[in-house]
A and B are shown apart, each in its own frame.
Chain A
Amino acid sequence: MAKVTREMVERSGVNVDKLVELLVKNAAAELTTFYYYTILRVNLIGLQGEGLKEIAETARIEDRNHFEALVPRIYELGGSLPNSMKEFHDMSACPPANLPDSPNDVEGILKILVEAERCAVRGYTQICNMTAGKDHRTYDLALSILHEEIEHESWFSEFLGEGPSGHFLRRGETSPFVSKFLR
Chain B
Amino acid sequence: MKIFTKEELSYFNGENGKPSYIAFEGKVYDVTKSFLWMGGKHQALHRAGEDLTDALKDAPHGSEFIKRFPMVGVLKD
Main secondary structure of the interface of B (DSSP, over half): loop
Complex Cα distance, B36 from A92, in Å, reads: 8
Whether A100 sits at the interface, judged by CB under 8 Å, is: no
Closest Cβ neighbor of A124 among chain B residues: B60
Point out the residue from A25, A95, A96, A122 that lies within 8 Å of B44, measured CB to CB: A25
| CB atoms of B43 and A25 under 8 A apart | yes
Whether A179 sits at the interface, judged by CB under 8 Å, is: no
Q: Contacts A18-B44, A22-B43, A25-B44; is A95 near B60 (CB within 8 Å)?
A: no
How many whole Å from A147's CB to the nearest CB in chain B? 16
| CB atoms of B43 and A126 under 8 A apart | yes
A residues in contact with B36, CB < 8 Å? 93-95
Q: Contacts A95-B35, A96-B35; is A123 near B58 (CB within 8 Å)?
A: no
If A25-B43, A91-B38 are given as contacts, then 18 extra A-B residue pairs at C-beta distance below 8 Å, sorted by A number, are A18-B44, A18-B45, A21-B44, A25-B44, A92-B35, A93-B36, A94-B36, A95-B35, A96-B35, A121-B60, A122-B60, A123-B43, A125-B60, A126-B45, A126-B59, A126-B60, A129-B58, A129-B60
A-B contact pairs, 14 of them (CB 8 A): A18-B44, A18-B45, A22-B44, A25-B43, A25-B44, A90-B38, A92-B35, A94-B36, A121-B60, A122-B60, A125-B60, A126-B43, A126-B59, A129-B60
List residues of B whose CB falls within 8 A of some A CB: 35-36, 38, 43-45, 58-61
List residues of A whose CB falls within 8 A of some B CB: 18, 21-22, 25, 90-96, 121-123, 125-126, 129
